[in-house]
Structure 1
Amino acid sequence: MGMNLHRTGRVGALCWVAAAPIFLVASLVTGLRWREPIYSWATHNISDLGNAHCGIWDTSRPRYVCSPWHPLMNAATLGTAVLLAAGLLLTWRILGRGAVVRSAQTLLLLATGGYALVALYPADIDENLHVLGAFLIMGLGNVGLFLAGFAPSTTTLGRWRPLTLTAGFIALAGTVLFFAQQGVGIGVGGMERVAVLPFPLWACCLGVLLAETRTPALVDHAVVVPE
């Protein structure tokens, strides 16, 4: 049983490692396909990459959106949701026990559902469900990421507390500033990335750390069946 859990954990870690690169590469490639206007990471939202139609979008910050490769972005976002969720579920027991760890994992799992919602319902198709997805990612997900930073040091998750606290703090600060529509020198679109990217980037880093961890550390909470 120990070896099975160890193998499962490594698969989960690899899912986490893959999620962020897929999301970032798709964002870059889809953005490069824009012609008029040219896509701006400072001005445009991430969601603009997934909009299915061309036209003026967003009454609070009007901008022309036309993303010819939006299917790629939405497919990659859905793939990111699946990989992040799989990573969470496959490392569920490995990361530790207790109310803090479980609460953080639950909130982060809800955030993966947010990625799925924004992928399946682009903002110009169903704005309400899209906004709900964004709230799950930037609201509940980032609270969960910050909470994960307080996991007991005796748990596997708690061993990387500085990394997690830093990611959680940056994500929450970015969320507050984004919803306040404050670009602080990097634009509102740039600030959205400060709010959204810490979770997948943290998962990628943690996945690498977990994949390099020896078996005893990965299965410290497993029940080993005597032979």
Structure 2
Amino acid sequence: MNLNRTGRVGALCWVAAVPIFLVASLVTGLRWRDPAYSWAIHNISDLGNAHCGIWDTTRPRYVCSPWHPLMNAAMLATAVLLAAGLLLTWRLLGRGIVVRSAQTLLLLAAGGYALAALNPADVDENRHVLGAFLIMGVGNVGLLIAGFAPNTTVLGGWRGLTLAAGLTALAGTVLFFAQQGLGIGVGGMERVAVLPFPVWACCLGALLTETPADRPARNRSAAAT
């Protein structure tokens, strides 16, 4: 398989998505004061909350994120990069109902990042929760389905990586909604549910960028003669 220019741009979009998300999470969290931000205790959404105060009736905790605009902007950028990567590699990854179903569900998950970013939990909880459902529910099912892509497709070539990501994400989702931290905290478990998709996309994008570039038609014709 040779990678055309469109596919390479899509792969690079995927590679960029995770660093932007993780760096923003780290920097935004470091700006918290009294209490400090904890990846084990606090949700990802807490970084994007626009107001200070006690939040969440299930696990009440004080939330105050001074740099919430940075986190929400990073989440929106992540959504755009994930969606762009999917659309630009759409034909490259293969054909068939399994591949197209996976791509469609993952595209909805990318939209979930945008929905959550544009609607912080303390501003519009319903839309934010819908965004979270698209990420952790719809997207993770799509990721698992992608693991069953036929071996004849490009996507099927990385079945082990994809199945590992999908199973991890779904397990994290179930445990997160059951409020089970298993030693890493409920906040940590949310990350187990959320991060596999963008991390998988980053890994797949890196693998794709190592693929030889598609030669222009003129060069192929010259080679044939």
**What TM-score do the two structures reach when normalised by structure 1?**
0.93
Residues in 2 aligned to 1:68 and 1:37: alpha-carbon distance in whole angstroms: 12
Structure 1 portions without partners, runs of 5+: 219-224
Q: Which moved more, 1:5-14 or 1:182-191?
A: 5-14
RMSD: 1.8
Residues in 1 aligned to 2:79 and 2:87: alpha-carbon distance in whole angstroms: 12
Give 2:93's aligned residue: 95
Runs of 4+ in 1 over 4 A off after TM superposition: none
Q: Which letter maps to 1:22?
A: I
Please, which of 144, 147, 155 is the counterpart of residue 145 of structure 2?
147
Give 2:84's aligned residue: 86
Tell me the CA shift for residue 212 of structure 1.
Answer: 0.4
Tell me the CA shift for residue 65 of structure 1.
Answer: 0.1
Give 1:23's aligned residue: 21
Tell me the CA shift for residue 187 of structure 1.
Answer: 0.3
Tell me the CA shift for residue 213 of structure 1.
Answer: 1.1
Tell me the CA shift for residue 214 of structure 1.
Answer: 2.1
Give 1:221's aligned residue: none
Give 2:197's aligned residue: 199
Q: Which letter maps to 2:118?
A: L
Give 1:170's aligned residue: 168
Contact 2:181 2:189 in 1 (8 A): yes
Q: Which letter maps to 2:8?
A: R
Residues in 2 aligned to 1:42 and 1:83: alpha-carbon distance in whole angstroms: 27
Residues in 2 aligned to 1:166 and 1:215: alpha-carbon distance in whole angstroms: 28
Residues in 2 aligned to 1:88 and 1:172: alpha-carbon distance in whole angstroms: 20
Contact 2:5 2:213 in 1 (8 A): no
Give 2:125's aligned residue: 127
Residues in 1 aligned to 2:43 and 2:212: alpha-carbon distance in whole angstroms: 40
Give 1:105's aligned residue: 103
Q: Which letter maps to 2:23?
A: V
Q: Which letter maps to 1:44?
A: H
Residues in 1 aligned to 2:221 and 2:56: alpha-carbon distance in whole angstroms: 61
Mapping of 1:181-220 within 5 angstroms?
Answer: 181-215=179-213
Give 1:61's aligned residue: 59
Tell me the CA shift for residue 226 of structure 1.
Answer: 8.3
Aligned residues: 218
Give 2:41's aligned residue: 43
Please, which of 10, 13, 16 is the counterpart of residue 11 of structure 2?
13
Residues in 2 aligned to 1:166 and 1:30: alpha-carbon distance in whole angstroms: 29
Deviation string 1:163-204 (CA, Å, 9 cap, x unpaired) is: 000000000000000000000100000000000000000000
Tell me the CA shift for residue 66 of structure 1.
Answer: 0.1
**What TM-score do the two structures reach when normalised by structure 2?**
0.94
Structure 2 portions without partners, runs of 5+: none
